[in-house]
Amino acid sequence: MEYWSFPMEDGRFGAGGALAKMDGVAPGPGGTLVYFGSEDCAVEEARVAAAGGQVVRPKSSIGPYGFISLVTDSEGNLIGLHSMA
C-alpha cells in the first residue's frame, strides 16, 4: 500500500487527510474514498450493518498510521473509517 498523509495543524483552519493506493480499491466509477476519523474505527464499524451498510474490509492495521475499516453506507457508497487505536 502507498500512503501519503496531510496532517492537520492545531489552531489552523482546514482538514487533515491522506491519499492511499491499495489493492482492491481502484480509481474510476467508485470515485474518491473519503475517510472519517474516530477514536476506534471498530466501534463505528460495528454499527454499519444495523444502519443498512456492509463491512467490506474489517479493521486492519496500516502500521504506524493506525487502523482502517472500509464500509459501504446504505446507498452503497464506499467510505473509510480511520483511528489510531
Instruction: Write down all domains in the chain, each with its CATH number in brackets.
Output: 35-85 (3.10.180.10)
- The larger pLDDT score, comparing residue 84 to residue 15, is at 84
End-to-end CA distance of the chain: 19
Place of cell 453506507: 73
- 17-69 pLDDT tens trace: 787 888 887 665 567 788 888 999 999 999 999 999 999 999 999 999 999 99
Long-range CB contacts for residues 42-46, cutoff 8 Å, separation at least 24: 42/67, 42/69, 42/83, 44/69, 44/81, 45/69, 45/71, 45/81
Task: Indicate the range of 2-6, 47-51, 77-81 predicted with least confidence.
Answer: 2-6
Distances, alpha carbon 48 to alpha carbons 54, 56, 70, 75, in Å: 6, 10, 10, 12
For the entire predicted model, the pTM comes to 0.69
